[in-house]
Structure 1
């Protein structure tokens, strides 16, 4: 892994780099990779908006609102400063040609990097959802979705969701740089809804990973009353995993993007650990 891209939207009033930005810098430092930061003001960061005024607080100074350009500049400074402190080479991409739609810019940039890191806060909603889908299904590279309160990228324990599909295979290979550094890999298959064409493929995957000196164990689980995405997240959370690796499936991109069930579930839920998805 030599070149990491992070997509950041500036916070409104905090002088602190987002967790996705921190995660990307830690990952770049771990792999001695270059970091590129694409910064765009696409939505208000509701978690950072100032509170409603309290009429009881007489005489308190009103909080000054900052412009989009000021927030972009401040975020660029935060990224550069944090990267310098971590001894990570970094460039900022928010000043590129604005005549090109952001969707096309993020696809183009994702194609030329090893991985994209993006913040998520709760279920993905437009416009962040649209950009994430574009990068994931047209960019050809893996994405790590990073929720708030994520610890620094350690990847001591990684859960791999396995169903023997092309996208699952792609996710495993895209995640190999992370898997080889992990202490433990748990390969799981949710077996309620589909028959696997090769019943022993989970164990075969573990044997393959062993040749990469990855200690992996395979098990099957049931989703019971949960959807498949929630089942995977719940298992990863209960296992104390630092990362969930899974394939992403969709079709009909040029007309209406039809997400596969697990991908749709993940996009629609509140992610609480980082998730690497590949298509």
Structure 2
């Protein structure tokens, strides 16, 4: 398996600029195409938000406001796309033209609910990149990020607040013997094969299942030399322990399974995943 196509959400914010820059860096490494996706809100979705008894004039004013915001955000998204593609030195193509050979990127605009558009379109890409919420508000995952992780069936790339100088040279796998852990491991194989070094890190939580050494042996079948590391959490939160051990290993990319619980039909990413999303200084690849 190789990564040949990446879907990257671009909303015009600094966070989406960093995410696109990171996606383009990986694209150059993997010889991949990056589709930058900007989703405008459909004004008709805003109309039901008007209180009962609102006049047609009031509803039209709301829809006009949404369209004005769409224009502002679209302009910002186009500027982010232009700047990041230029800085990365990646060729810009028409997203509706024939599939390009080699590294390239194109900007596509769709209208609808962003999390729904990403959930559907992400299914036909090898990797989905979504900016996290980095303003300190809770939860750290947006609805779009949750949809990318939980509904596309694809690994999801999340970048910190700025484009790192190096991505994927030294990779850490935060291993936990679960189905999401297996999916993260399998989905990241192209990145692990391209890495100069790989560490498989397990924070002992008392769970049974394959140990890091067994995971390293599995990776060896794919030509990946990995160093296993089993550590005790001591007095640390598990998520914080994962991040500290990842940094100690010198990793510039962290791969891990994403865990969630369903409460009142609202998807809430689990505690370890939220801690890592909130505090990671390096890009993440998450899978469920």
TM-score category of the 2 structures, normalised to the smaller one: 0.7 to 0.9
Tell me, yes or no, if structure 1 residue 266 matches structure 2 residue 281.
no
Alignment of 1:126-205 (within 5 A): 129-191=142-204, 193-198=205-210, 201-205=211-215
Q: Which runs of 5+ in 2 are unaligned?
A: 42-70, 92-102
The residue that corresponds to 1:93 in the other structure is 108
Alignment of 1:1-279 (within 5 A): 1-11=3-13, 18-40=17-39, 67-82=72-87, 85-87=89-91, 88-94=103-109, 96=110, 98=111, 100-120=112-132, 121=134, 125=138, 129-191=142-204, 193-198=205-210, 201-252=211-262, 255-267=265-277, 269-279=278-288
TM-score (norm 1): 0.78
Q: Which runs of 5+ in 1 are unaligned?
A: 43-65
* Structure 1 contact 163–196 (Cα < 8 Å) conserved: no
- Give SS of 1:252's match: strand
The Cα of 1:24 is off from its aligned counterpart by 1.0
The residue that corresponds to 2:54 in the other structure is none
* Structure 1 contact 25–82 (Cα < 8 Å) conserved: no
* Structure 2 contact 33–104 (Cα < 8 Å) conserved: yes
- Going from structure 1 to structure 2, the CA distance change for 1:40 and 1:202 (only over 3 Å counts) comes to same
Counterpart-to-counterpart distance in 2, 1:127 and 1:266: 9
- Going from structure 1 to structure 2, the CA distance change for 1:151 and 1:127 (only over 3 Å counts) comes to closer
The Cα of 1:157 is off from its aligned counterpart by 1.3
The Cα of 1:67 is off from its aligned counterpart by 3.1
CA RMSD of aligned residues (A): 2.6
The structure with more helix, counted as a fraction of residues = 2
